[in-house]
Every structure is written in C-alpha cells, then in structure tokens.
Chains A and B, each alone.
Chain A
C-alpha cells in the first residue's frame, strides 16, 4: 500500500517536472542587464553555499540516524558540551557570510546609483494598469492588460502570453541608461520585470528611483508584484527594448501625435466624436471598476448608469472625474488624462447605457477649468 502511494507521488512529481517546465525554466532568469547578471550570480553563489552546507549538515544527520539506531545495538555516549566546537561552528558561518556580504554590497551600490541617466520615465501604478510618462518629452500613455476576459474565464483558448500582454508596451532604448521613477495614484503597486531585475514599489505620495540599461533588444514581460486589490493578477508590465535610433523615431512620432491631440482642444467637438473617443477611454480606464455597462459594483464602486447625482449636475460629474473623491477608490484623473480625453469620457458617461442627457462636454471648457485651478 505504501509502495503504491510512493509510486503515485513519484509519478505526479515527474509529470510536474516534465515538458513545459524544463522548457520555460525554473530558475531565476539571467536577464538582459549587467545588474540582472550580477544578481543572478549572487543568487547562484548563495544557492551553492546552501547546497554545500546542506550536504555537510544533512550528511552528518543521516549518518547518525543510520549508524546510531538502538535497533542496531547503539549505546548512547555521554558527552553533552564542548565550547571549542560551539565557537568554531559560530565562527565559520560568520566568515562565509562576510564573504557573501562583500559582493552583495557592491551590487547593491551599483543598483542604487541612478545618476547620469539618458532618459527619465515616470511609472505610475493605478488600480489596475500602469501609466508611463517620458519626462520632458510630453509623451505619456497608459498600458492595460490585453488578454481578454473570455480567456480568463475559459470561454476562449488561452494565448501564448496569457496575462502577460498589454495594449501598449513601455518602449525603451537599449544601451542607454534609463532612470525609472515610480509612484502610485492609489494603493501600493510594484513594477517588476524579471529579465531586467527591476522590482520597485510604487508608493502613493512617494517617488522611488531605479534604473536600467538594457543590453539586448527584445520584449520583456513581468507583472505587478505587490497585492493591490481585486485585479492585482491582471496588471502586466511589458517592455519593448529597441535600438536607440528606432527609439528616437518612435518617440518623435508619439510627440507629433500628442501635439495633434493638443490642437484638438480648441475646436468645437460633435457629440458623436466625443462618444467614440470617450468609449475608448472608458473601456481602458473606467470599466475595470464601474463595469463596461456602467453598473459598477456597489458599495465600493457606484453605478454610473442612471446615477442621478452625476446626471443632474454636470459640474459635480466633472469635478468627480477631474479631482477624484478623497477617501475612496476614485482617483483624480486631472494629470492622467488630457482635456480631450476627460471631456470625451465624461460625455460618454452622460450619454451611454440609457443615460440621455445629450450633453457634449467641450475639451476647451475642461482645459479652462484645469488652468483655473
């Protein structure tokens, strides 16, 4: 009977270790930065130190367990203390640890030196997406998980990068030092890409600093590492590292697009245009809490469909979206969204799911409001 159990357990263990596991790795990735390599080698050194200590300690233990069994006639000896031995096995571990601390300290110092960066990127965590902004370049966007809910629920097949794919990746140049500044709009998140060996908490009210210099172009995937509420599992990070020239071209293109959008602020917008743009913004930003059909999940997230408080009072509605509601999960979107996006999403909320105010909130009015405050 016991044999059968052992056999089954063995089978389970073996099948677990077969196939995709070996292919996908079960160790820390070496990664694509100098720092990630250093960290990986620290990890391997301390691992082997543990293995060696383990062999010695468990070897001595199992030797005793077999050699000194009473069933084999072992008689207990009588020794029970030895100061020299105690001193030795206190000192040896200390020496090993000092030896380990030296390279660890050096690596840590490197990791903490974010000076002389070529590019600054501000990373803001929000329930449950990342917002990237290239400081001084007027380029900013949010990055949402692209995996569909139907894959999560099992209604459709799971793709290769299930849960680790986004609508817009963070694009970074290789071979340049990029300073990553982290903060959060709501709870604590943690931005993590294993191949870059960057994991840094994004803490509301603080700006943390980290940096990366990527050696190889490629797509690197990670996810939020700090429990941040309901959709913590669904806020992936994707970094696309490209050659510096391609990066510069990409950045110029994005700047141009941003400038175009800024021009749009001054003109008069039709209801239909606003609805179209608003729907995009709503589904990428608002729907995760207030639901795609505006039904919310009360009490934490109020419904917007048929919500008289906002429908009766456009100013209140605008204020809620622009400035958030302090003490609740509703963030202020004044710095996350531009005036066009704000006007469009508010218009959308006032005219979707049976809300029929007919209001077309104008980007220019929102821009004026932002300037006044």
Chain B
C-alpha cells in the first residue's frame, strides 16, 4: 500500500510556507516540570493533556470491556460474579462516554480550533486549565468506587432509578459527585469554545468560512451548555433521594421512576450527538484533503448539523418506547426519530459526492475517515430500524441496540478521533506517523471492530438481552466471535500507542503543510506548531469554502 502513496511535501517547504511568520520560541518563561503542566494556560499544552487523559481512560474503559468479553466468551459464569460484572459494564460505559470520547474531542478542539480560525489561544485560558484539571479529579473519584464497600456503580451507564437510588450501592453518592465535576468541566469547556469561535476568528473569516470541524464544535458546545445542566439536575435529584429522604423517583413515596428516564434521555439523546457532531466535522475536513477537492455542499453540511442538533431535543423518548408511553407519544417520537435520519443521510451523501471525481489517496487519516463513513452508516441503518417503534418492542434492550450504538460510537466517534490524531500528528510533533504501522493499526481495528459488533446484531435479533453476565446456549457462537473480535480490537490499540510514541520521538519530518491537499489555516504555521502561534492574526483569504 505504501508505494501507492503520493510523494510528500518536503521539509524544505516548511520554511518557505511558514516564511512570514516570525515565531519566538523563547518567550515562554513559565514554571518547569510538573508545575508547568499543572498551571499551563496554553491551548496546545492543555489540548495535549486532554488527549493523554482521554487515551488513558480509553485503556481503562477498554480493560473493563475485556473483562466483560472474557466472561461472555462462553455460557456459564467463569471469571466474575454477576455483581462485579454489572460494575464492569457500568464503569465501561461511563468511562468511555465521559472519560474517553468527550475529553478527546475537547482536546482536539483545544489544539485545533485556535489554529483553524487563526486565534492565538482559547478565549479564556485560565478557565481552560481549570476545566481540564477537574477531569482527573472526577475520574479518580469515580474509579475509587471500585474499592469501596458495596462496590462501584452497578446500574448501567444510564443509571435508571430506582435501581440507582433505593437499590444502589453506597458508592453512588461519589459517582454523583464525580459526574457533577465532569459536567462542570464540560460546561466550562463549551463556554470557552463558543467564546473563542465567536470572538477570535482571523480578520476576514466569516462564520460560513469556518472549517467544518469548527462549525460542528460550535454547535456541539451549545448542545453541551443546554443539556449538561439537565444531567446535573437529575443526579442532584438522585442525591436528594438517596441521602435526604426525598422521593423524586421513589414510587413508594409518591415519586415517578419514569420521570427519571425522561430527564436522563432529555440529556442523553443530545449527548449521543455531542459525541458524533465533532466527528462529522473531522471527517468533513479530512475527506476533502485526500480527495483534493472542496467539500461538496459546505452550506448544506452546516445546516444539516444544525438541524440534527435541534431535532436531537425532540427525540429523547425513542429510548423509552416500552416504558408505557401513551400512543400519541409513541407516534410523535417515532416520526421525529425517523426525521433525524434525514439530515444524517444528507451528510453521508455529501461526503460521497466529495469523493466522486476527486483525486484520491489513502493515507492513514483517510483510511480511518473512509471506514468511518461506511461503518457509521451501518450504525445509522440500525438506528433507522430502531426508530420504528413497533419493531423496537422487539429490539429494545437487546444486543441489537448494543450493536447499533457501538457502530456509531466505535467505528464512528472513536475512528474519527483516530483519523484526527493521524491527520494532525505531523502538525503536533513535526513528524509523520509510521505509515506501515498505522496501516496495520487500521486494518486490525477494522477487522476487530466488525468481528466484535456485527454478530451482536444477530444475537440481539435472536433474543439476547443486554447487560447479562450469562446467556442461553443458542447465543454461544455469536458471543464467542464477538469476544475474539474484542480481544483483537483491544490488542491492536496498543499499536496505536506505539505509533503515537514513535511519532513524538522521531520519524519522517513533516513540512508546515503536511498533506498536499490540506487548505486550512493550521497548515500555514510550522510543524511542529510552536507553543505560540498567530500572535499577530493571519490574513484570511476566503477561497475555499
């Protein structure tokens, strides 16, 4: 494969391209060592911290998933007790959603939003530092529940009451506190991103000139500000139910367990789009670069993103089709969910039309972006099936749903994050990632992901409920394949770490414009990007979008 790759721009061009930009490497007089990282207000350093944190959480959450898959390798209970199994599924979900995927996108935003809009830093650098450092505290607290009496949270990442209140382990209060901290971090991060995008764009860059990664993050940030407070509200109600004798969700005290689900999913559905909109942005930036052709339908991409965001507030109860909603509610949420698939489809059509009559090459970022388009779409198809409310009576709470959301989240969100890392590593480190190893990482991931998640569709349709540590014999074969796939996928992520570490330490030198088809502003600063960039705003030429 490597031989087909086009010649790369040479390092000499680095100087030439970065010509006019005098960059003073010596003017950073901050503290050194640990203190430097604790106190940094630099968007690139904070971005790096976020990304390292996210990768760490990705592996911790991954280990939990491996425990789950090892137990499910065969029918019967072999390795863990059901109590611990439930803690593993719960912690896996919570860590992956709040610890791995969301912080990875915030890290990418920290690094790339200022560079893509020609800003010197984030608008609120100290707040930025605080938003990040809340996270290690939050997740240290969450992980510490594993060794508390009664164990860690065991009620699923959706923590339905009253299982998560009256019947919950004592550690639930710590879980609530940790989620509050993570939520505050997200809200502050979102405010910062909005402030940066609205105020610090290079002169001449209008909103409709912004790269799509910036657009999708702007919209995501508004979603975050809208729904994280709802999450904070619902966990506070849980806190009161558990510790202060209220009965919001306790039927015996006149409360309503279904209210919990409405509140949770009013947060939860926009939340799933929070995890995918920035991924759409990344893919919309990478595909044109390696197709050497402008993104097809830039404006329609922006409108589609905005309509998805708005519609995402109107579909929450599609997660609740079997809780006993009235008929009109079932119909409303079925129609609205079907509708949200339309702008999602428009995005896929636009990506494919961008490829059409391009001049394509398949560097690692492009490989991940293309796999994203195919595999995310498969997740979209199962989403469409789940939207059909009568059919959802059969699909709901089975492995079919697990297959659906893993397709949109793993080869969806996670692949997009990896595409972004491969795409911007030359900018961050000044080196290209090792091509062969990256390709190995890609192919093993693709095989692993499909072996893991595709058979889950069948297991679910055949009747296997989710969140069970042991299952009837007819599901045995599907589960064995899934577990093998999961081990392949898990192990191949070690390769990702190797690629990243090698790339940081050395490798082929990258010029300022590391990919010949790349056009956004980040490619006008040297590679690696110096600590301070765009101290004088660049002049932006609106030629591309």
Q: Which residue numbers of A lie inside 8 Å of B, CB to CB?
A: 2, 5-6, 9, 12-13, 15-21, 24-29, 38-39, 42-43, 46-47, 49-50, 53-54, 57-58, 60-61, 64-65, 68-71, 74-82, 85-86, 89-90, 93-94, 97, 100-101, 104-105, 107-109, 111-112, 127, 151-154, 158, 160-164, 182, 186-188, 190, 192, 194, 197-201, 203-206, 208-209, 222-234, 299-300, 326-329
The reply on B150 being an interface residue by CB < 8 A is yes
In whole Å, how far is B161's beta carbon from the nearest beta carbon of chain A?
8
In whole Å, how far is A213's beta carbon from the nearest beta carbon of chain B?
16
Whether the pair B472, A225 counts as a contact (CB closer than 8 A) is no
Complex partner residue of B167 from A9, A42, A68, A229, CB under 8 angstroms = A229
| Bitwise interface map of B from 442 to 479 toward A, beta carbon under 8 Å scored 1, else 0 | 01100100010001001101110111111111101110
Complex partner residue of A68 from B342, B358, B444, CB under 8 angstroms = B358
The reply on B373 being an interface residue by CB < 8 A is yes
Whether the pair B458, A21 counts as a contact (CB closer than 8 A) is yes
A39-B394, A230-B83 are contacts. A64–B360 as well, Cβ < 8 Å?
A: yes
Whether the pair A39, B390 counts as a contact (CB closer than 8 A) is yes
Whether the pair A227, B361 counts as a contact (CB closer than 8 A) is no
Whether the pair A233, B297 counts as a contact (CB closer than 8 A) is no
Complex CA–CA separation, A251 to B36 (angstroms): 77
| Bitwise interface map of B from 362 to 379 toward A, beta carbon under 8 Å scored 1, else 0 | 100000001001100110
In whole Å, how far is A68's beta carbon from the nearest beta carbon of chain B?
5
| Contacts A/B (CB < 8 Å), 19 sampled | A19-B477, A39-B391, A43-B391, A50-B385, A61-B370, A64-B358, A69-B360, A69-B361, A70-B292, A81-B297, A90-B342, A104-B334, A108-B334, A111-B393, A112-B327, A187-B163, A188-B162, A227-B156, A233-B471
Complex CA–CA separation, A70 to B361 (angstroms): 6
The interface on chain B, measured as residues whose beta carbon lies within 8 A of the other chain's beta carbons, has a size of: 110
Find chain B residues with CB under 8 A from A100 CB.
338, 388
In whole Å, how far is A151's beta carbon from the nearest beta carbon of chain B?
8
The reply on B213 being an interface residue by CB < 8 A is no
Find chain B residues with CB under 8 A from A197 CB.
393-394
The reply on B199 being an interface residue by CB < 8 A is no
Whether the pair B346, A231 counts as a contact (CB closer than 8 A) is no
Whether the pair A86, B467 counts as a contact (CB closer than 8 A) is no
Q: Which residue numbers of B lie inside 8 Å of A, CB to CB?
A: 4, 6, 75-78, 82-83, 86, 149-150, 154-156, 160, 162-163, 166-167, 169-170, 250-252, 255-258, 291-300, 322-324, 327, 330-331, 334-335, 338-339, 341-343, 345-346, 348-350, 352-353, 355-362, 370, 373-374, 377-378, 381, 384-385, 388-391, 393-394, 396-398, 443-444, 447, 451, 455, 458-459, 461-463, 465-474, 476-478, 480-481, 484, 488
Complex CA–CA separation, A318 to B295 (angstroms): 73
A12-B451, A205-B256 are contacts. A68–B163 as well, Cβ < 8 Å?
A: no
Whether the pair B396, A13 counts as a contact (CB closer than 8 A) is no
A39-B393, A104-B388 are contacts. A16–B480 as well, Cβ < 8 Å?
A: yes
Complex CA–CA separation, A97 to B4 (angstroms): 42
Complex CA–CA separation, A200 to B320 (angstroms): 10
Whether the pair A97, B327 counts as a contact (CB closer than 8 A) is no
**Chain A residue, CB-CB nearest to B397:** A225
Complex partner residue of A233 from B294, B339, B398, B470, CB under 8 angstroms = B470
Interface centre among B75, B255, B389, B465 (most CB of A within 10 A): B465
A16-B481, A163-B471, A190-B397 are contacts. A65–B465 as well, Cβ < 8 Å?
A: no
Complex partner residue of B396 from A5, A205, A222, A225, CB under 8 angstroms = A225
**Chain A residue, CB-CB nearest to B440:** A2
In whole Å, how far is A104's beta carbon from the nearest beta carbon of chain B?
5
Whether the pair B297, A205 counts as a contact (CB closer than 8 A) is no
Complex CA–CA separation, A190 to B257 (angstroms): 14
Whether the pair A89, B346 counts as a contact (CB closer than 8 A) is yes
Complex CA–CA separation, A237 to B292 (angstroms): 58
Find chain A residues with CB under 8 A from B466 CB.
227
Whether the pair A64, B352 counts as a contact (CB closer than 8 A) is yes
Secondary structure of the B contact surface, majority rule: helix
Find chain A residues with CB under 8 A from B322 CB.
190, 199-201
**Chain B residue, CB-CB nearest to A21:** B477
Find chain B residues with CB under 8 A from A231 CB.
82
Complex partner residue of A93 from B77, B167, B341, B374, CB under 8 angstroms = B341
Question: What 4 A-B pairs have minimum CB-CB distances, sorted nearest first?
Answer: A205-B251, A16-B481, A26-B458, A233-B468
Find chain B residues with CB under 8 A from A206 CB.
251, 257-258, 324
Whether the pair A164, B472 counts as a contact (CB closer than 8 A) is yes
Whether the pair A199, B381 counts as a contact (CB closer than 8 A) is no
Complex CA–CA separation, A188 to B467 (angstroms): 14
Whether the pair A80, B298 counts as a contact (CB closer than 8 A) is yes
Whether the pair A2, B324 counts as a contact (CB closer than 8 A) is no
Complex CA–CA separation, A160 to B472 (angstroms): 9
**Chain B residue, CB-CB nearest to A23:** B474
Complex CA–CA separation, A16 to B484 (angstroms): 10
Complex partner residue of A203 from B258, B349, B360, B361, CB under 8 angstroms = B258
A46-B385, A64-B360, A101-B335 are contacts. A225–B398 as well, Cβ < 8 Å?
A: yes
